[in-house]
Amino acid sequence: MADPRGFLRTRDRELPTRRPVPVRLMDWREVYEAREKGTLDVVSRQAGRCMNCGIPFCHQGCPLGNLIPEWNDLVYRGDWEEAIERLHATNNFPEFTGRACPAPCESSCVLGINQPAVTIKNVEVSIVDRAFEEGWVQPVEAPRQTGRSVAVVGSGPAGLAAAQQLTRAGHSVVVFERDDRLGGLLRYGIPEFKLEKRHIERRLEQMRAEGTRFRTGVDVGGSGEGAISVEDLRARFDAVVVTTGASRPRDLPVPGREATGIHPAMDYLTQANRQVEGDTLEDAISAEGKDVVIIGGGDTGADCLGTALRQGARSVTTLAIGTQPPTERTEDQPWPMHPVLFEVSTAHEEGGDRSFLASTTGFEVGEDGGVTGLKVARTQYRDGKRLPTPGTDTVLPATLVLIAMGFTGPQQEGLVDTLGIELDGRGNIVHDQEWETSVPGVFTAGDCARGQSLIVWAIAEGRSCAAAVDRHLMGGTNLPAPVRSGERAIAV
């Protein structure tokens, strides 16, 4: 155990300082102050609060089964090099989860029953950042080559995790990505101020050195330039892993939707992320000087908010159709569940208004065909449905509207249709307990199979899928499988 009295001596969570709002709105860098000498002592003190529980519920809360008490103990004792070994034993990319994960491990931390939970996520990111700085993150070479080959389609966290595991098992792995840069939603969904893209680059460098090959600009099953047919891929590789994400945006088909100035959130975020990468885009969607309304109060909405504020929006309002969540756990969300609470993300801290119980009933359209406003009614709950209350419509000025209402599954035209892969009632790719789709030799993991989810689930599923592919190719495997197919977080 790190420190038997640690949780008694230090009762509060200590987290890194965030840069002042006016300063951070002037750039795209991560919102936290650069780590300085001395802050690692704070991390060690926080790690020392860990009680090394007999039943560490943090393991259960984390889909990856991260060995949290082990690395808390090592950090407390100052053995950071061994800590990264234990962290990498279960997580290929702690620099992504340590920055952007909602940390279900902290929600299920036993200390959280009557004290603030251990700052697990900050310990995690501190370990991996230090490891990169010290040069402890080195390529892990496969002990031998198997002579078998695997194509991974899609370079989000699920595809990258599967590719790294399979490369390390000795297979020849090629990742095909239709975008011009690698990383999936880590690259073009999540903004730089939450996850600087240099973190993706340095991990890719390790993967390339290990032998994973990457092909960008290749739309598997597509028809444009650089497309490659699915038959070609199946003929060239012994197994195919489909990790193409859930990219079909949920739309809002209400009167006026055809107006210009109304965009799916991902169109907006992708362009903004590209510009931060240095691309010059013609007619890019910009929030500068506009009254922006974001429909959807989740993480994607918050990412749009932070982006719009940095672009110089005149006003930003986020609308959520449901009630404002509670600030504390309620009886129907007991420990160790990950509760839905009222979240003030770093973007919310930076500005904008939030409105709950707001149902959009239509858009107002100007003479030039551009959106000028939103008609919003108060939501009422009827027969379990969320509906607008008649006679409560008000008009909200809007010259840019971003629809951040989630996704309805993987894109079907192209790869899914050509392969004839079976989909479930929600439009997600069906697979069996061995992560194999209805097409023999084609496996799947991540958002395209699970539905819109989290980075940590994508990595966990990518690892489990890799174990199944290795078993399929070799008749057995030593690769770990942290989650079973179809596994969900604990809920009541």
Residues in touch with ligand FAD (CB under 6 A)? 100-101, 153-159, 176-179, 184-185, 189-190, 194, 218-222, 243-245, 266, 269, 299-300, 303, 414-415, 446-447, 453-456, 458
Shortest reach from residue 125's CB to ligand SF4, in Å = 15
Q: What residue 58 binds from ligand FAD, ligand SF4, none (CB within 5 to 8 A, per partner kind)?
A: ligand SF4
Are 90 and 18 a contacting pair, CB within 8 Å? no
For CA atoms 268, 270, 276, 280, the dihedral sign is negative
Q: What residue 50 binds from ligand SF4, ligand FAD, none (CB within 5 to 8 A, per partner kind)?
A: ligand SF4
- Kindly tell me which of 109 and 218 has the beta carbon lying closer to ligand SF4: 109
| Side-by-side strand order, sheet with 442-444 | 213-216, 172-177, 149-153, 239-242, 442-444
Q: What residue 125 binds from ligand SF4, ligand FAD, none (CB within 5 to 8 A, per partner kind)?
A: none
Picking from 148, 268, 282, 159, the residue whose alpha carbon sits closest to that of residue 220 is 159
Shortest reach from residue 391's CB to ligand FAD, in Å = 35
Shortest reach from residue 331's CB to ligand FAD, in Å = 27
Shortest reach from residue 235's CB to ligand SF4, in Å = 48
> Does 468 interact with ligand SF4 (rule: CB under 6 A)?
no
The alpha carbons of the chain give a radius of gyration, in whole angstroms, of: 23
SS3 state of residue 129: helix
Shortest reach from residue 3's CB to ligand SF4, in Å = 11
| Cβ-Cβ contacts under 8 Å for 38 (sequence gap 6 or more) | none
- Strand pairing class (358-365; 371-382): antiparallel
Total count of residues recorded for the chain: 492
Shortest reach from residue 11's CB to ligand FAD, in Å = 28
Give the number of C-alpha atoms closer than 13 A to the C-alpha of residue 405, restricted to the C-beta side: 19
Give the binding-site size for ligand SF4 (rule: CB under 6 A). Answer: 15
Give the number of C-alpha atoms closer than 13 A to the C-alpha of residue 68, restricted to the C-beta side: 37
Q: Which of 31, 43, 62, 118 binds ligand SF4 (CB under 6 A)?
A: 118
**What single string gives the DSSP state of each residue in 49-82?**
T----SS-HHHHHSTT---HHHHHHHHHTT-HHH
Shortest reach from residue 204's CB to ligand FAD, in Å = 13
SS3 state of residue 256: coil
Give the number of C-alpha atoms closer than 13 A to the C-alpha of residue 217, restricted to the C-beta side: 3
Q: What residue 120 binds from ligand FAD, ligand SF4, none (CB within 5 to 8 A, per partner kind)?
A: ligand SF4
Q: Which of 25, 103, 111, 287 binds ligand SF4 (CB under 6 A)?
A: 111
Distance CA 70, CA 82 (A): 10
Distance CA 407, CA 251 (A): 9
Give, as ranges, the residues between 68 and 97 that touch ligand SF4 (CB under 6 A): 68-69, 72
Picking from 324, 361, 351, 359, the residue whose alpha carbon sits closest to that of residue 340 is 324
Give, as ranges, the residues between 41 and 60 that touch ligand SF4 (CB under 6 A): 50-53, 56-58
> Does 449 interact with ligand SF4 (rule: CB under 6 A)?
no
Shortest reach from residue 387's CB to ligand FAD, in Å = 27
Q: Which of 67, 109, 320, 400 binds ligand SF4 (CB under 6 A)?
A: 109
Interface residues toward ligand SF4, by CB under 6 A: 50-53, 56-58, 68-69, 72, 109-111, 118, 120
